[in-house]
Structure 1
Amino acid sequence: MLQKPFSKETFKEKLEAHGEFPMLYMFKFIVPNGRENEIGAIFPKNEMSLKASSGGKYVSTTIQVMVHSADEIINYYEKASSIEGVISL
């Protein structure tokens, strides 16, 4: 199955249709073990929950953040995308 290319504008429209800002938004990322601190650096004022994969190679991270716009959410995802091996959920 072919995936559509990512469209920042479409994602922004979906975020704006999801609810009203400000809102509490949950970010979830999977990173290689040892890189969870890089995710934490993006969200220094927020609590992050961690869960290691069964094999120990990956760590699932969950962070809840009060955001004020769809652009702010997109900015966080763009920062996270610079981390090697990150998977954004």
Structure 2
Amino acid sequence: MQKKFNKETFKEKLEANGQFPMLYMFKFIVPNGQEDQVEAIFPKNEVLLKPSSGGKYISTTIQVMVESADEVINYYEQAASIEGVISL
């Protein structure tokens, strides 16, 4: 069973650990062939792709200048709509 995401707690942690605006690193793992969905969320940013050793998954890394904790959460919420995504 997946742990419920607590948006308020996450927002408090983001705000306690840095000053906005800040450069934030997003990492997602998606099934091979779905990396374009991650790239669509970050059209103005470089998305680094690394296939898994078995080739079934793609690791994505994106660095984004964000203005607020709410913006970070918004990106995670968009990524959550991708089937099979794992947010790190």
TM-score range, shorter chain: over 0.9
Gaps of 5+ in 2: none
TM superposition shift of 1:4:
5.7
TM-score by length of 1: 0.95
One-letter amino acid of the structure 2 residue matched with residue 35 of structure 1: Q
- What corresponds to 2:28 in structure 1? 29
RMSD: 1.4
Aligned-residue sequence identity (percent) comes to: 80
Aligned residues: 88
- What corresponds to 2:39 in structure 1? 40
- What corresponds to 2:71 in structure 1? 72
- What corresponds to 1:58 in structure 2? 57
One-letter amino acid of the structure 1 residue matched with residue 34 of structure 2: R
TM superposition shift of 1:27:
0.1
- What corresponds to 2:18 in structure 1? 19
Q: Which runs of 4+ in 1 moved over 6 A?
A: none
Gaps of 5+ in 1: none
TM superposition shift of 1:6:
2.1
Change (3 A) 1:3 1:56: closer
- Which stretch has the larger CA shift, 2-11 or 47-56? 2-11
